[in-house]
Amino acid sequence: MARFQVYRLKGSDILVLDLQANFFDSLPSRVVVPLHSVDEMS
C-alpha cells in the first residue's frame, strides 16, 4: 500500500491526497487533503 495516493473526486476536477499512516488506522474513514495550484491560492 502506498503511503500517499492521489485521487480525482467523482464528478469533479479536484485532486485529493489520501494520507495514510498507522495513526489513522482506527478511523473508519480516510483523511484527504485537497490539492490546488499555487495560482488558485494566491
Catalogue the E-assigned strands of the chain: 4-8, 15-19, 31-35
Tell me: pLDDT of 5 over 70.
Answer: yes
Type of residue found at 19: L
pLDDT, one tens digit per residue, over 9-25 is 999 989 999 887 777 77
Tell me: pLDDT of 3 over 90.
Answer: no
pLDDT, one tens digit per residue, over 23-37 is 777 878 778 899 998
**What pLDDT band is residue 2 in, cutting at 50, 70 and 90?**
low
Of 16, 14, 19, 15, whose CA–CA distance to 4 is shortest? 19
> Scanning the structure block, which residue is given the C-alpha cell 495550484?
37
H/E segment holding residue 41:
helix 38-41
Compute how many other C-beta atoms are within 10 angstroms of the C-beta atom of residue 26: 6
